[in-house]
Amino acid sequence: TGQEDRGQFNEERVVDFLSGAAMLVRADAVKKIGLFDPQFFIYLEELDFAARAKQAGYKCIYSPVGQVRHKGRHSIDERYKPPYVEGSAQNYLLLIRKHSGKQKVQFMIRATTVIGKSIFGIITKEKNPLQLKSLAKSMWKGLNKGNKT
Protein backbone atom coordinates (compact mmCIF):
# COMPACT_ATOMS: atom_id res chain seq x y z
CA THR A 1 0.00 0.00 0.00
CA GLY A 2 1.26 3.42 -0.89
CA GLN A 3 4.30 2.14 -2.79
CA GLU A 4 5.09 2.98 -6.37
CA ASP A 5 5.58 -0.17 -8.43
CA ARG A 6 9.22 -0.15 -9.53
CA GLY A 7 9.44 -3.87 -10.15
CA GLN A 8 9.75 -4.87 -6.48
CA PHE A 9 6.49 -6.85 -6.74
CA ASN A 10 7.55 -8.98 -9.73
CA GLU A 11 8.98 -11.92 -7.76
CA GLU A 12 7.13 -14.67 -5.95
CA ARG A 13 8.06 -14.69 -2.24
CA VAL A 14 7.02 -15.79 1.22
CA VAL A 15 5.17 -13.03 3.12
CA ASP A 16 3.75 -12.58 6.63
CA PHE A 17 0.13 -12.53 5.48
CA LEU A 18 -2.08 -12.10 2.44
CA SER A 19 -5.10 -9.90 1.92
CA GLY A 20 -8.32 -11.76 2.64
CA ALA A 21 -9.69 -10.25 -0.57
CA ALA A 22 -7.17 -12.14 -2.69
CA MET A 23 -6.28 -15.51 -1.18
CA LEU A 24 -6.21 -19.00 -2.58
CA VAL A 25 -5.99 -21.52 0.24
CA ARG A 26 -5.29 -25.23 0.03
CA ALA A 27 -8.22 -27.39 1.11
CA ASP A 28 -5.98 -29.39 3.47
CA ALA A 29 -4.94 -26.14 5.19
CA VAL A 30 -8.57 -25.15 5.75
CA LYS A 31 -9.33 -28.62 7.13
CA LYS A 32 -6.36 -28.36 9.49
CA ILE A 33 -6.65 -24.76 10.75
CA GLY A 34 -10.24 -23.80 9.92
CA LEU A 35 -11.62 -20.66 8.32
CA PHE A 36 -11.47 -17.04 9.50
CA ASP A 37 -12.15 -16.71 13.23
CA PRO A 38 -15.59 -15.04 13.58
CA GLN A 39 -14.43 -13.21 16.73
CA PHE A 40 -12.64 -10.75 14.45
CA PHE A 41 -15.83 -9.82 12.54
CA ILE A 42 -14.18 -6.94 10.70
CA TYR A 43 -10.47 -6.21 10.16
CA LEU A 44 -7.36 -8.33 10.72
CA GLU A 45 -8.99 -11.73 10.29
CA GLU A 46 -6.40 -12.55 7.63
CA LEU A 47 -3.55 -11.80 10.04
CA ASP A 48 -4.98 -14.33 12.48
CA PHE A 49 -5.51 -16.84 9.66
CA ALA A 50 -1.91 -16.43 8.45
CA ALA A 51 -0.55 -16.79 11.99
CA ARG A 52 -2.48 -20.03 12.46
CA ALA A 53 -1.32 -21.26 9.04
CA LYS A 54 2.33 -20.57 9.90
CA GLN A 55 1.93 -22.29 13.25
CA ALA A 56 0.57 -25.35 11.40
CA GLY A 57 3.58 -25.38 9.04
CA TYR A 58 2.12 -23.60 6.01
CA LYS A 59 3.60 -20.60 4.18
CA CYS A 60 1.89 -17.52 2.77
CA ILE A 61 3.26 -17.00 -0.72
CA TYR A 62 2.78 -13.81 -2.68
CA SER A 63 2.46 -14.38 -6.42
CA PRO A 64 2.76 -11.54 -8.95
CA VAL A 65 0.68 -13.51 -11.48
CA GLY A 66 -2.77 -11.96 -11.79
CA GLN A 67 -4.40 -8.81 -10.49
CA VAL A 68 -7.12 -8.16 -7.94
CA ARG A 69 -8.76 -4.82 -7.22
CA HIS A 70 -10.23 -4.51 -3.76
CA LYS A 71 -12.40 -1.56 -2.86
CA GLY A 72 -11.99 -1.55 0.87
CA ARG A 73 -10.57 0.49 3.71
CA HIS A 74 -7.92 2.18 1.58
CA SER A 75 -10.56 3.54 -0.76
CA ILE A 76 -12.26 5.36 2.12
CA ASP A 77 -10.80 8.58 3.51
CA GLU A 78 -11.97 7.90 7.06
CA ARG A 79 -8.94 6.25 8.66
CA TYR A 80 -9.51 7.94 12.00
CA LYS A 81 -13.23 7.23 12.27
CA PRO A 82 -15.20 4.23 13.48
CA PRO A 83 -15.50 1.41 12.61
CA TYR A 84 -11.90 1.25 11.34
CA VAL A 85 -10.22 2.68 14.43
CA GLU A 86 -12.32 0.69 16.87
CA GLY A 87 -12.28 -2.57 14.91
CA SER A 88 -8.54 -2.44 14.33
CA ALA A 89 -7.69 -1.60 17.94
CA GLN A 90 -9.97 -4.30 19.31
CA ASN A 91 -8.69 -6.93 16.92
CA TYR A 92 -4.99 -6.14 17.33
CA LEU A 93 -5.43 -6.69 21.06
CA LEU A 94 -7.31 -9.91 20.36
CA LEU A 95 -4.41 -11.04 18.13
CA ILE A 96 -1.96 -10.32 20.94
CA ARG A 97 -4.11 -12.24 23.38
CA LYS A 98 -4.62 -15.18 21.04
CA HIS A 99 -1.07 -15.79 19.77
CA SER A 100 2.32 -16.32 21.36
CA GLY A 101 6.04 -16.12 20.68
CA LYS A 102 7.42 -14.14 17.75
CA GLN A 103 3.95 -13.61 16.29
CA LYS A 104 2.74 -12.04 19.53
CA VAL A 105 5.69 -9.63 19.53
CA GLN A 106 5.04 -8.69 15.88
CA PHE A 107 1.37 -8.06 16.66
CA MET A 108 2.34 -5.95 19.69
CA ILE A 109 4.58 -3.76 17.53
CA ARG A 110 1.90 -3.37 14.84
CA ALA A 111 -0.78 -2.65 17.45
CA THR A 112 1.34 0.03 19.09
CA THR A 113 1.92 1.70 15.72
CA VAL A 114 -1.70 1.52 14.52
CA ILE A 115 -3.28 2.54 17.83
CA GLY A 116 -0.73 5.33 18.27
CA LYS A 117 -1.47 6.69 14.78
CA SER A 118 -5.20 6.44 15.50
CA ILE A 119 -4.88 8.41 18.73
CA PHE A 120 -2.74 11.04 16.98
CA GLY A 121 -5.24 11.27 14.10
CA ILE A 122 -8.23 11.56 16.43
CA ILE A 123 -6.52 14.35 18.37
CA THR A 124 -5.09 16.30 15.42
CA LYS A 125 -7.56 15.68 12.58
CA GLU A 126 -10.87 14.68 14.12
CA LYS A 127 -10.54 16.77 17.30
CA ASN A 128 -13.25 14.66 18.94
CA PRO A 129 -12.52 13.49 22.51
CA LEU A 130 -15.54 11.17 22.42
CA GLN A 131 -13.76 9.10 19.79
CA LEU A 132 -10.91 8.55 22.24
CA LYS A 133 -13.42 7.19 24.75
CA SER A 134 -14.86 4.91 22.08
CA LEU A 135 -11.35 3.75 21.14
CA ALA A 136 -10.59 2.95 24.79
CA LYS A 137 -13.79 0.87 25.03
CA SER A 138 -12.82 -1.06 21.91
CA MET A 139 -9.36 -1.72 23.30
CA TRP A 140 -10.92 -3.02 26.51
CA LYS A 141 -13.12 -5.39 24.46
CA GLY A 142 -10.05 -6.66 22.62
CA LEU A 143 -8.23 -7.31 25.87
CA ASN A 144 -11.15 -9.27 27.26
CA LYS A 145 -12.31 -11.09 24.12
CA GLY A 146 -11.14 -14.42 22.76
CA ASN A 147 -9.42 -17.44 24.13
CA LYS A 148 -5.68 -17.90 24.10
CA THR A 149 -4.69 -20.75 21.80
Q: pLDDT by residue for the chain (149 residues), tens digit each?
A: 678 989 988 999 999 988 888 889 999 999 999 999 999 877 899 999 999 999 999 999 999 987 787 776 554 456 666 677 888 889 999 999 999 999 999 999 999 998 898 888 888 887 888 888 888 988 898 888 755 54
Query: pLDDT value at position 129?
Result: 82
Report the C-alpha gap between 130 and 98 in whole angstroms: 29
**Would the CA dihedral through 71, 79, 82, 106 be positive or negative?**
positive
**Continuous segment of H or E residues that includes residue 28:** helix 27-33
| Confidence (pTM) | 0.81
Q: Is 55 helix (H, G, I), strand (E, B) or coil?
A: helix
Q: 84 to each of 50, 78, 125, 128, how far by Cα in Å?
A: 21, 8, 15, 15
| Closest CA relative to residue 41, chosen from 143, 142, 111, 133 | 142
Type of residue found at 77: D
Q: Is 30 helix (H, G, I), strand (E, B) or coil?
A: helix
Query: pLDDT value at position 79?
Result: 62
